[in-house]
Chains A and B, each alone.
Chain A
Amino acid sequence: MIAQAFQPIYTQIKSLTKATISLDAESVQYDELAWVDGRAAQVIRVEGKEVTLQVFSGTEGLGTNAKVVFSGSAPKLRLSPLLAGRYFNAFGAAIDGKEELKGEEQDVKGQTVNPVRRQLPSELLATGIAGIDLNNTLVTGQKIPFFADPDQPYNRILAEVALRADSDRIVLGGMGISHDDFLMFKQRFNASGAGDKIVSYINTSEDPPLERLLIPDLVCTTAEYFANEKNEKVLVLLTDMTLFADALAIVSNKMDQIPSKDAMPGSLYSDLARIYEKAVQFKEGGSITIVAVTTLNDGDITHAIPDNTGYITEGQLYLKKDSETGLTIIDPFRSLSRLKQNVIGTKTREDHPQVMNALVRLYADAAEARSKKENGFDLNAYDKRSLAFATAYTEELLDVQLNISIDEMLDRGWNLMSRFFESYELGIRQNFIDKYWPKA
């Protein structure tokens, strides 16, 4: 990304704000990258001759005579199999001390996949975690975030899921993650022997926040390269998308755009969708699965960021600490996998859908009993049974530390139901009861 020799140098900046500069320039492209006294910047508005640039690291200290050089194009990336095992920053420059990649540069704002060329995602992606495999089964080509309060061990669980799920390639996009978490990812990947199948683009909390706006495009372009051209099964990890959205808000605010809910730009939905919709199953076999992290404020999922995310992604995995047992679980209520229908009961055992739903309904009964108890009412026999069931369900199935097969999960489910309930209390199809209800 070095200025080409014939590019003119501009030195007359007309106006400056905290994050942007404006100047008169010729033949500038929308979204083009530029350098302002060596700082990376991008064109965000053209008006007649005047162009406005967003300076990623901020304008502090820039003079009106700063040197502006345009790169001649929107951000690009060199794609090659040699990306594997490497670590880059938000501009695609190496941060692992190894040499820069060579090869042809490609646009990072990729094209839309033609919907009629997509395949129905229906290959099960097992993780050994019942909160996922049993209740919210994932498939390749799906996009799904963890919703987590900041104090949850979301990055550790994300790394665990990434290593357990079967994939040919992992592309990690770190946006504003702590340096410690960055090292954690690196160590876990290397320790598991998967270090060579991973490509990482990292912006830590120590880097300028606006630079993280560039991360998802690099990640998705890399994923698309391996999935479409190399027919690989690619798993994309994006963490933390909330910090990405916060950066979007800063820019739109600087541009004097009218904010919509929670000070977020009105285009938040489209901005996030453009990234998440990169998840795809190609018919040639390659796929992109996106598992992201969206951190919450005080568990508030009605905030614009998780809310828009939920409208875009194919479900969400809501991480929380169970107050009774102290275990970290994936909340059976607010979590959802919208693509589970494509595999459960067909690629998994036939009783899967009904067992899963019955368990969650019983867990809902327990939640009602708990609130009854909290309000000081006497519990009836059924309430007590459902509370006992909920504790056992949490310990024997929901605990994210467990690593068991789906058949084992279903067997444990039947065992739990038969320990605490009568078969008529479940509303499960009679033929399944006849077949799977544990005989005394």
Chain B
Amino acid sequence: MTKGKITGILSNLLQIKVDGPVRQNEICFVLKNEQRLMAEVIKIKGDIAFAQLFEAGTGLQADDQVEFSGELLEVSLGPGLLSKNFDGLQNDLEAMPGNFINAGQRSEALDLEAVYTFQPLAQPGDKLKAGDVIGEVAENALMHKIMLPFKFEGTYDLVELAEAGDYNLQTAIAQVKNEADELLPVYMVQKWPVKWPIKTYENKVRPSEIFQTGLRVIDTLNPIAEGGTAYIPGAFGTGKTVLQQAIAKNNRAEVVILVACGERANEVVEIFHSFPELEDLATGRKLKDKTTIVCNTSNMPVAAREASVYVGMTMAEYYRSMGYKVLLLADSTSRWAQALREMSNRMEELPGTDAFPVELPAVIANFYGRAGKVMMKDGREGSVTFLGTVSPAGGNFKEPVTESTSKVARCFYALSQKRADAKRYPAIDPLLSYSRYLDYEEFQEYTERSVETGWTEKVMRAKNLLAKGIEARDQISILGDDSVPLDYHRDFWKSELIDFAFIQQDSFDDTDMNSTMERQSFMLNRVLEICDKKQDFEDFSTVGSFYKKLINLFKQMNYSEFRSDDFSKFNEELDQVFTANEKMEAL
């Protein structure tokens, strides 16, 4: 193996003089006081390798020894990933003793002693390719497929396959022969470099089904499709994290991978705390059962922030290749971009806009490109649905990370400072935000079948009413309450009704936090019906108080169980508001 010596240190950027071949992105270890500090090669110039240390450089000296591993940054893939809490380099955080993480401390991602009950799903003599299923084991609620390792290129003969029974992760469960007649063992765990997409599928298909998040403003007004992508930009405090966590709780995915990238530790603690208790709507089991957390908070090594999102994506692709519906959430992709910027600055590269590296758009595009719905050779389907948050400096969307992401993500959930200030949560701007999937014909057909006929038109009508109402509001504020026709007030209040009754949703209320598609369609129909009802007013001030009564009733409905007695009572009271108003008008 190649060895080296440190010749330069600038924060966590090392220059290492090497005595042999090195690979770009190879992992190396600085040997310091019995510790092995991990670093990744990011540039090579002559016999000098530049490496980013996944630690602070404090205490390092020139001439410190470095060992090269020959490997890129890889993750372990196998049963036991679910319910785990990893750091950005896939160390199992639970397996590290003590309150603090020491420099260079590592732990195995998977417990190699753990025993799983293996069920063979192939026969000796079968011809296999990378990704072909040879067996399965139960992992929490799902059947974890054991596949021919992704690194195996070409065709293999299955020579020997373990019988049904209990095996640990260190036991070879199969022997296969490659085209050169070499016999190779297969284990239930394999390794894969995080920067390489896992491409064992036959083809990618266009997303066409709603990926339910339980949030009305998303599922109905700006739906994300299963296998789709979305980004959520917003200034601090506008609700990015709350929104992602709400989605993490209310989805119907089979596997959820949460990447906390360079953000607050306490937000992850909240998940550690609640997920073992909360119920998974899809299975009725605990949320923790289907969730894996990758946690590289803002005080953890900066260089590992980049790694963390790739570690998350690679695990997501792994479960997708078993045929599962995977949700990947990353909060925040800007921190990863900033980590790239810090490094590129230290390397004194020519900077792009706002000092970000010039390749940023390509890096972001490649990452989003790894999401998607895929079809396997045997017809199984799997998907990775990806939502990333973006934290633009000063809340201004005209910056490189937001702009680069806008070119690749298909849904845009713009969080508005104004809405957040007014506590109109979720603060998703109803006019700026969009979902490209609403235009997909196959998506529209899907909603016709699974939600109701004419759904897309209804959604468009609600959006038009919103747009019209906001125009009316602008006119009213320019011309004054008295100087505009009464219609303007009515239009404005219709949009307020849609906002308060439908868009706003309380993520901290046990009932309101999650709305099924059936409930969403009921509510949308009800809101539209009310907007269509004949309504006459004497003057503009009566419009406001009339609508406030309606809004109050809708809110009470949202706080009540769907179709409960309370719910029906408030629903009926809506009609009484109209009757009362007609009586007033008649007088």
Query: A residues touching B (Cβ–Cβ < 8 Å)?
Result: 27-31, 44-49, 73-74, 107, 109-121, 141-142, 228, 257-261, 266-267, 269-270, 273-274, 277-280, 282, 302-304, 307, 310-312, 314-316, 333-334, 336, 338-339, 341-342, 353, 357, 360-361, 364, 372, 375, 377-378, 380-382, 424-427, 429-430
Q: Which of A109, A282, A307, A311 has the most CB of B within 10 A?
A: A311
Report whether B421 and A258 are in contact in the complex, using a CB–CB cutoff of 8 Å. Answer: no
Query: B residues touching A (Cβ–Cβ < 8 Å)?
Result: 6-11, 15, 56-63, 85, 93-94, 96, 98-103, 235-237, 262, 264-266, 268-270, 272-273, 295, 297-300, 302, 335, 338-339, 341-342, 345-346, 351, 354-355, 391, 393-396, 421-423, 477, 480-482, 500, 508, 540-541, 544-545, 548-549, 551-552, 555-556, 559
Report whether B298 and A378 are in contact in the complex, using a CB–CB cutoff of 8 Å. Answer: no
Report whether B552 and A424 are in contact in the complex, using a CB–CB cutoff of 8 Å. Answer: yes
Report whether B266 and A314 are in contact in the complex, using a CB–CB cutoff of 8 Å. Answer: yes
Report whether A260 and B99 are in contact in the complex, using a CB–CB cutoff of 8 Å. Answer: no
Report whether B62 and A312 are in contact in the complex, using a CB–CB cutoff of 8 Å. Answer: no
Task: Return B510 CB to nearest CB of chain A, in Å.
Answer: 12
Report whether B421 and A364 are in contact in the complex, using a CB–CB cutoff of 8 Å. Answer: yes
Report whether B99 and A228 are in contact in the complex, using a CB–CB cutoff of 8 Å. Answer: yes
Report whether B551 and A427 are in contact in the complex, using a CB–CB cutoff of 8 Å. Answer: yes
Report whether A310 and B264 are in contact in the complex, using a CB–CB cutoff of 8 Å. Answer: no
A74 CB contacts on chain B under 8 angstroms: 58-59
Q: Which of B7, B61, B297, B544 has the most CB of A within 10 A?
A: B61
Report whether B101 and A111 are in contact in the complex, using a CB–CB cutoff of 8 Å. Answer: yes
Report whether B299 and A258 are in contact in the complex, using a CB–CB cutoff of 8 Å. Answer: no
Nearest to A111 among chain B residues (CB) is B100
A116 CB contacts on chain B under 8 angstroms: 85, 93-94, 272
A197–B341 alpha-carbon span in the complex (Å): 42
A314–B297 alpha-carbon span in the complex (Å): 14
Pairs across A and B, CB under 8 Å, 5 listed = A28-B61, A114-B93, A115-B268, A266-B355, A302-B396
A81–B61 alpha-carbon span in the complex (Å): 33
Nearest to B56 among chain A residues (CB) is A109
Report whether B59 and A113 are in contact in the complex, using a CB–CB cutoff of 8 Å. Answer: no
Report whether A46 and B9 are in contact in the complex, using a CB–CB cutoff of 8 Å. Answer: yes
Among A45, A110, A111, A372, which residue has its beta carbon within 8 angstroms of that of B9?
A45
A372–B478 alpha-carbon span in the complex (Å): 9
B552 CB contacts on chain A under 8 angstroms: 424-427
Report whether A117 and B99 are in contact in the complex, using a CB–CB cutoff of 8 Å. Answer: yes
Report whether A112 and B269 are in contact in the complex, using a CB–CB cutoff of 8 Å. Answer: no
Report whether B99 and A266 are in contact in the complex, using a CB–CB cutoff of 8 Å. Answer: no
A382 CB contacts on chain B under 8 angstroms: 541, 544-545
Report whether B481 and A28 are in contact in the complex, using a CB–CB cutoff of 8 Å. Answer: no
A278 CB contacts on chain B under 8 angstroms: 299
Report whether A269 and B298 are in contact in the complex, using a CB–CB cutoff of 8 Å. Answer: yes
Top 4 closest pairs, chain A to chain B, by CB: A302-B394, A273-B298, A277-B299, A310-B236
A424–B6 alpha-carbon span in the complex (Å): 70
A223–B268 alpha-carbon span in the complex (Å): 23
Task: Return A7 CB to nearest CB of chain B, in Å.
Answer: 14
A394–B302 alpha-carbon span in the complex (Å): 43
B394 CB contacts on chain A under 8 angstroms: 261, 302-304, 307
Task: Return B348 CB to nearest CB of chain A, in Å.
Answer: 8
A113 CB contacts on chain B under 8 angstroms: 99-101, 265
Report whether B345 and A257 are in contact in the complex, using a CB–CB cutoff of 8 Å. Answer: yes
Nearest to A423 among chain B residues (CB) is B552
Task: Return B504 CB to nearest CB of chain A, in Å.
Answer: 9
Report whether A334 and B421 are in contact in the complex, using a CB–CB cutoff of 8 Å. Answer: yes
Report whether B481 and A112 are in contact in the complex, using a CB–CB cutoff of 8 Å. Answer: no
Nearest to A357 among chain B residues (CB) is B423
Report whether A46 and B93 are in contact in the complex, using a CB–CB cutoff of 8 Å. Answer: no
Among A30, A112, A119, A260, which residue has its beta carbon within 8 angstroms of that of B299?
A112
Q: Which of A270, A316, A378, A426 has the most CB of B within 10 A?
A: A270
A341 CB contacts on chain B under 8 angstroms: 508
A261 CB contacts on chain B under 8 angstroms: 354, 393-394
B58 CB contacts on chain A under 8 angstroms: 29-31, 74, 107, 109
Nearest to A315 among chain B residues (CB) is B237
A167–B395 alpha-carbon span in the complex (Å): 35
A113–B264 alpha-carbon span in the complex (Å): 12
Report whether B298 and A114 are in contact in the complex, using a CB–CB cutoff of 8 Å. Answer: no
**A425/B548 contact (C-beta < 8 A), A277-B297, A314-B264, A372-B477 known:** yes
Among B101, B103, B236, which residue has its beta carbon within 8 angstroms of that of A307?
B236
A319–B498 alpha-carbon span in the complex (Å): 34
Among A109, A120, A257, which residue has its beta carbon within 8 angstroms of that of B270?
A120
Task: Return B496 CB to nearest CB of chain A, in Å.
Answer: 12
A121–B265 alpha-carbon span in the complex (Å): 11
Report whether B556 and A273 are in contact in the complex, using a CB–CB cutoff of 8 Å. Answer: no
Nearest to B559 among chain A residues (CB) is A429
Nearest to A31 among chain B residues (CB) is B58
Report whether B555 and A29 are in contact in the complex, using a CB–CB cutoff of 8 Å. Answer: no
Task: Return A368 CB to nearest CB of chain B, in Å.
Answer: 9
B59 CB contacts on chain A under 8 angstroms: 29-31, 73-74
Report whether B549 and A424 are in contact in the complex, using a CB–CB cutoff of 8 Å. Answer: yes
**A427/B100 contact (C-beta < 8 A), A46-B9, A260-B341 known:** no
A353–B482 alpha-carbon span in the complex (Å): 36
Report whether A277 and B7 are in contact in the complex, using a CB–CB cutoff of 8 Å. Answer: no
**A259/B355 contact (C-beta < 8 A), A110-B100, A116-B272 known:** yes
**A31/B57 contact (C-beta < 8 A), A111-B103, A266-B342, A277-B265 known:** yes
Report whether A266 and B338 are in contact in the complex, using a CB–CB cutoff of 8 Å. Answer: yes
Report whether A119 and B544 are in contact in the complex, using a CB–CB cutoff of 8 Å. Answer: no
B338 CB contacts on chain A under 8 angstroms: 266, 269-270
Task: Return A115 CB to nearest CB of chain B, in Å.
Answer: 5
Among B297, B422, B544, which residue has its beta carbon within 8 angstroms of that of A115?
B297
Nearest to A268 among chain B residues (CB) is B338
B265 CB contacts on chain A under 8 angstroms: 113, 115, 118, 277, 280
In the complex, besides A114-B96, A279-B266, 10 extra interface pairs with C-beta distance below 8 angstroms are A45-B9, A114-B100, A115-B265, A117-B99, A278-B299, A282-B99, A310-B236, A364-B423, A377-B480, A427-B552
A228–B100 alpha-carbon span in the complex (Å): 10
A274 CB contacts on chain B under 8 angstroms: 298-299
Task: Return B347 CB to nearest CB of chain A, in Å.
Answer: 11
A188–B235 alpha-carbon span in the complex (Å): 37
Report whether B341 and A266 are in contact in the complex, using a CB–CB cutoff of 8 Å. Answer: yes
A274–B552 alpha-carbon span in the complex (Å): 45
A427–B6 alpha-carbon span in the complex (Å): 64
A191–B395 alpha-carbon span in the complex (Å): 43
**A361/B508 contact (C-beta < 8 A), A30-B61, A270-B302 known:** no
Nearest to B425 among chain A residues (CB) is A357
A307 CB contacts on chain B under 8 angstroms: 236, 393-395
Nearest to A270 among chain B residues (CB) is B302
**A336/B93 contact (C-beta < 8 A), A30-B60, A341-B508, A382-B541 known:** no
Task: Return B275 CB to nearest CB of chain A, in Å.
Answer: 12
A303 CB contacts on chain B under 8 angstroms: 394
Report whether B272 and A115 are in contact in the complex, using a CB–CB cutoff of 8 Å. Answer: yes
B102 CB contacts on chain A under 8 angstroms: 111
A324–B59 alpha-carbon span in the complex (Å): 56
A308–B134 alpha-carbon span in the complex (Å): 50
Report whether A47 and B103 are in contact in the complex, using a CB–CB cutoff of 8 Å. Answer: no
Q: Which of A74, A121, A277, A375 has the most CB of B within 10 A?
A: A277
Report whether B298 and A270 are in contact in the complex, using a CB–CB cutoff of 8 Å. Answer: yes
Among B99, B273, B482, which residue has its beta carbon within 8 angstroms of that of A378?
B482
Task: Return A179 CB to nearest CB of chain B, in Å.
Answer: 32
Q: Which of A118, A121, A315, A361 has the most CB of B within 10 A?
A: A118
